[in-house]
Structure 1
Amino acid sequence: MESLSGPLAIVVLVLDVLAIAYVWRSRIEIGRKVVWSFVILLLPVVGLIMWAAAAGPFGKARL
């Protein structure tokens, strides 16, 4: 299990960077961009899941 922690951390980091880039390219106001960026940075896995659920095709949240 320890051998997977490094590659898994890299995958999460790459996905977080992509999510933050997507947030900053979106047409939402700056305040929401900052909040989403902090959520994704402070809670890498949970924040990424929350963002994906809110921004996905079935997301009900207005980003």
Structure 2
Amino acid sequence: MLEVSGLGGLIILALDIWAIVSIISSGTTTGKKVLWTLLVLLLPVLGFIIWLVAGPRSRSSMA
């Protein structure tokens, strides 16, 4: 059971890092970037889901 929870934690960590990189590379204002990053850092699973649904999009997907 420990291996499964450790693997789940690594997956959440990887998804949160991906979300933070996408937030930083988005074209939104600095204040919004800080708020989104704090949300993802403070609430890793819920923050990621909220960002995935309503977060800022990266510059490459807006083109």
Alpha-carbon RMSD across the aligned residues, in angstroms, is 1.4
Maintained 8 Å contact 2:40/2:47: yes
Counterpart residue number, 1:21: 21
Q: Give the letter for the 1:23 counterpart.
A: I
Query: Take 2:37 and 2:24, find their aligned partners in 1: how far apart are those partners?
Result: 8
Instruction: Structure 2: give runs of 5+ residues left out of the alignment.
Output: 57-63
Maintained 8 Å contact 2:36/2:55: no
More relative contact order, 1 or 2 (CA 8 Å, 6+ apart): 2
Q: Give the letter for the 1:13 counterpart.
A: L
State the Cα deviation string for residues 3-62 of structure 1 (Å, max 9, x = none).
310010000000000000000000000000000000000000000000001148xxxxxx
Give the TM-score taking structure 2 as reference length: 0.83
Q: Give the letter for the 2:29 counterpart.
A: E
What is the percent sequence identity of the aligned residues? 39
Instruction: Structure 1: give runs of 5+ residues left out of the alignment.
Output: 57-63
Give the TM-score taking structure 1 as reference length: 0.83
Stretches of 4+ aligned residues off by more than 3 angstroms: none
Q: Give the letter for the 2:36 counterpart.
A: W
Query: Take 1:12 and 1:51, find their aligned partners in 2: how far apart are those partners?
Result: 13
